[in-house]
Structure 1
Amino acid sequence: FISEPIFVDAHVIPDGTDPNNAKIYFFFKERLTDNSGSTKQIHSMIARICPNDTGGQRSLVNKWTTFLKARLVCSVMDEDGTETYFDEL
Structure 2
Amino acid sequence: MNQASKRHMAEVFQALNSLRIAVGDLEQIELARIEPLEGQQTVDSRQSLAQCFLNLHSAIADIEATLATIGEATGETGKL
Confirm or deny a common fold (TM above 0.5): no
More helix by share: 2
TM range (shorter): under 0.3
| Higher RCO structure (Cα 8 Å, ≥6 apart) | 2
TM-score by length of 1: 0.24
Kindly name which structure, 1 or 2, has the bigger radius of gyration based on alpha carbons.
2
More strand by share: 1
